[in-house]
């Protein structure tokens, strides 16, 4: 039958024993641990009294492990070696790895085309990107930073404004021409509309178009703007989305913006991380780089 392990001795005493056993000196152990030699000696004496055995022979100019000390030392040394390795790996990951979770559209259409610039500036940081609409718990450590949509008020987290959430109708030129031209925003009510009804409601209201909520229920809402724009390019309807994320499609003529008015949603895009991780090298480097990219995209007023 296995006996139940007793309580551990004070960690300070165990740490003093490990350093003295590894270095073969109370003086060197004291230097390593930023303690006095008397404090090291006291901690080890406390440990010996707790165990009821002598762990070191105190000779005139040196210390030597007793048999009891020799039996105890290998397990303690191995345990501390494992701790040092674990902490070194954790520090290396915090310094050299960055796990990002981001909403799919801003990731694929805005972040990914720019990530090469971050790698050139910080080749020492390995980047892993997850694109999901699920709100990841940054406190758990699976991800270091997130790009989220909201108002920047997540308790326990630091949030930096990244980009405004802009919305305007976007469509294929083929559908625009097939509709016989669009003279006023109200003309869009005649076409299939793709995207969030809330966004359509806001955009119509800001353009002075009185539209009943029931008139928007037939809209196709795919949940991810990238999918909705793909449907719009295929001529399946008019999507409402951010022109910031689809500049290439607008410039190439795959998409057109039929009306100049661009509305702004109440939930903007933010760079977010757990406040306890604010001093991480990888997070600091990414934050500095990403906010500079965002300012170049939408200069401050």
Q: Residue 237: is its pLDDT beyond 80? A: yes
**What span, in angstroms and rounded, lies between the C-alpha atoms of 203 and 284?**
37
Eight-state DSSP code of residue 158: E
Domain 11-65, CATH number (from 1.10.10.10, 3.40.50.720, 3.30.1330.10, 3.40.1350.10):
1.10.10.10
Is there a contact between 172 and 235 (Cβ–Cβ < 8 Å)? yes
Buried b (16+ CB within 10 A) or exposed e, 197-216: bebbbbbbeebebebeeeeb
* The 3-state secondary structure of 86-100, one letter per residue: HHHHHHHHHHHEEEE
**What span, in angstroms and rounded, lies between the C-alpha atoms of 29 and 27?**
5
Q: According to the model, what pLDDT value does residue 216 have?
A: 66
Q: Do domains 11-65 and 94-161+267-297 have the same CATH topology?
A: no
- What percent of the chain stands above pLDDT 90? 72
Question: Cα(first)–Cα(last) distance of the chain, in Å?
Answer: 75
> Is the sign of the CA dihedral 145, 151, 157, 161 positive or negative?
positive
Give the mean pLDDT of the chain: 89
Q: Which of 48-57, 73-82, 128-137 bottoms out in mean pLDDT, i.e. has the lowest? A: 128-137
Region 15-43: mean pLDDT is 94
Q: According to the model, what pLDDT value does residue 242 have?
A: 95
Is there a contact between 198 and 179 (Cβ–Cβ < 8 Å)? no
Is there a contact between 107 and 131 (Cβ–Cβ < 8 Å)? yes
Is there a contact between 235 and 176 (Cβ–Cβ < 8 Å)? no
269 closest CA partner among 168, 152, 97, 114: 152
Q: According to the model, what pLDDT value does residue 217 have?
A: 62
Q: According to the model, what pLDDT value does residue 84 have?
A: 80
* Token pair belonging to 4: 């139940």
Tens-digit pLDDT profile for residues 194-236: 999 999 999 999 999 988 766 666 578 888 899 999 999 999 9
| Cβ neighbours of residue 137 closer than 8 Å, sequence gap 6 or more | none
Domain 166-264, CATH number (from 3.40.190.10, 3.40.50.10860, 1.20.140.10, 3.30.420.40):
3.40.190.10
Q: Residue 1: is its pLDDT beyond 90? A: no
Tens-digit pLDDT profile for residues 240-288: 999 999 999 999 999 999 999 999 999 999 999 999 888 888 999 999 9
For residue 143, how many other CB atoms are within 10 A of its CB? 21
Q: Which residues pair with 160 in a beta bridge?
A: 271
Helix axes 37-51, 11-23, angle to 10 degrees: 110
Instruction: Provide the residue ranges of all domains of the chain, joining segments of one domain with +.
Output: 11-65, 94-161+267-297, 166-264
* Token pair belonging to 295: 């300012």
Q: According to the model, what pLDDT value does residue 215 have?
A: 66
> Is the sign of the CA dihedral 263, 265, 266, 269 positive or negative?
negative
Eight-state DSSP code of residue 215: G
Strand 157-163 and strand 268-274: pairing?
antiparallel
* Token pair belonging to 246: 């689809």
Region 295-301: mean pLDDT is 73
pLDDT confidence band for 96 (50 / 70 / 90): confident
Q: How many helices (H) and strands (E) does the chain have?
A: 11, 11
Tens-digit pLDDT profile for residues 128-144: 999 988 778 887 778 89
E strand map for the chain: 56-59, 62-65, 97-102, 126-131, 145-150, 157-163, 166-170, 193-194, 238-241, 263-264, 268-274
Q: Which fold has domain 94-161+267-297?
A: D-Maltodextrin-Binding Protein; domain 2 (3.40.190)
Task: At 57, give phi and psi (nearest 5°).
Answer: -90, 125
């Amino acid at each position: 039958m296995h006996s139940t392990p007793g309580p551990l001795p004070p960690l300070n005493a165990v740490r003093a024993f490990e350093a003295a056993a590894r270095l073969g000196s109370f003086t060197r152990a004291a230097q390593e641990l930023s303690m006095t030699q008397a404090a090291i000696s006291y901690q080890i004496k406390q440990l010996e009294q707790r165990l009821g055995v002598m762990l070191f022979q105190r000779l005139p100019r040196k210390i030597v492990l007793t048999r009891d000390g020799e039996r105890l030392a290998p397990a303690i040394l191995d345990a501390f070696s494992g701790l040092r390795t674990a902490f070194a790996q954790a520090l290396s990951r915090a310094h050299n790895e960055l796990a990002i979770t981001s909403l799919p559209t801003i990731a694929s259409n805005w972040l990914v085309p720019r990530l090469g610039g971050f790698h050139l500036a910080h080749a020492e940081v390995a980047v892993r990107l997850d694109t999901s609409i699920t709100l990841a718990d940054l406190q758990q450590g699976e991800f270091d930073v997130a790009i989220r949509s909201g108002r920047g008020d997540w308790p326990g987290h630091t949030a930096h404004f990244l980009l405004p959430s802009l919305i305007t109708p976007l469509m294929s030129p083929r559908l625009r021409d097939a509709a016989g031209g669009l003279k006023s925003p109200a003309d869009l009510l005649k076409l299939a509309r793709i995207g969030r009804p809330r966004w359509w409601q806001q955009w119509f209201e800001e353009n002075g178009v009185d539209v009943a909520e029931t008139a928007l229920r037939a809209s196709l809402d795919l949940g991810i703007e990238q999918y909705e724009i793909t449907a719009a390019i295929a001529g399946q309807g008019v999507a409402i989305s951010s022109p910031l994320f689809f500049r290439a499609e607008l410039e190439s003529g795959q998409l057109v913006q039929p009306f100049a008015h661009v509305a702004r949603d109440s939930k903007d895009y933010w760079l977010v991380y757990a406040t306890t991780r604010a001093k991480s090298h990888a997070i600091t480097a990414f934050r500095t780089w990403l906010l500079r990219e965002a300012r170049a995209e939408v200069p401050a007023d």
